[in-house]
Amino acid sequence: MVAVLAGKSALRGGPGVTTFVVCALCCGLWLGFLGVAHRRIRTLSGAVPPAVFTPRHASAAALCTIALAVCATALVL
C-alpha cells in the first residue's frame, strides 16, 4: 500500500529520473517483504509445528518495512 501511495504521490508532480528510481526501489522492497511474508505464512500453515522465525528473516522483514517508510517519505516530500 505504501508503495502505491508513494508512486501516486511521486508521479503527481511530474515524472523524473529520480522519481522512477525511488519508485522502483520501493517496488523492489515491497516484493522482498512479500517474499518473506509468504515464506512465513507457508511455514505457519503446515501441519507440523512451525520453526522459530530466524533472525535473518525477521531482520529482512524489519529492514524492508523501514526502507519502505523511508522511500515513501522521500517521495512524498
Range of the domain at 44: 2-76
Tally of domains in the chain: 1
| Pair 38, 61: CB distance under 8 Å | no
Quick one: pLDDT at residue 49?
Answer: 78
* Threshold 0.95, pTM exceeds: no
Predicted confidence pLDDT, tens digits, the chain (77 residues): 665 666 666 667 666 777 777 778 877 887 888 888 888 888 888 777 777 878 988 888 888 888 878 877 776 66
Q: Give residues with Cβ within 8 angstroms of 72, minimum separation 6.
A: 2, 3, 5, 6, 26
| Residue 5: per-residue pLDDT | 67
Which pLDDT score, from 0 to 100, does residue 19 have?
74
